[in-house]
Amino acid sequence: QSALTQPASVPGSPGQSITISCTGTSSDVGGYNAVSWYQHHPGQAPKLMMSEVSQRPSGVSIRFSGSRSGNTASLTISGLQAEDEADYYCCSYAGSSTFVFGTGTHVTVL
């Protein structure tokens, strides 16, 4: 099972919107609604930011939104803030009781 493909880094200025892509196949991202996104600050446990493609968990800012087109899922952060600087990972169910993470994207707030 190959890791899902994400851009290594995405920069943005405060107040801007950025989008992180997550490309898989019809056997994972394109085949199931179980696509989720995690924010990860080094030394801390990852934090769930989006579940089931576009469901925002309670407590997560409305500035975060999720979508999918075909085999590519996306996480958009609107009104970028300094606190959003972190690593972001997508994850998808891949069938047969297995999951796969994306390669990870570092978001830099300029």
Beta strands in 30-85 (DSSP E): 35-40, 47-50, 64-69, 72-77
Q: Which is nearer to another protein, 65 or 99 (CB)?
A: 99
Q: Which residues bind another protein (CB under 8 A)?
A: 1, 3, 32, 34, 36, 38, 40, 45-46, 48, 51-52, 57, 87, 89, 91, 93, 96-104
Q: How far is the CB of 14 from another protein (least distance, A)?
A: 26
Report the residue number, 76 or 101, with the smaller CB distance to another protein.
Answer: 101
Residue 83 near residue 41 (C-beta atoms within 8 A): no
Q: How far apart are CA 58 and CA 50, in angstroms?
A: 10
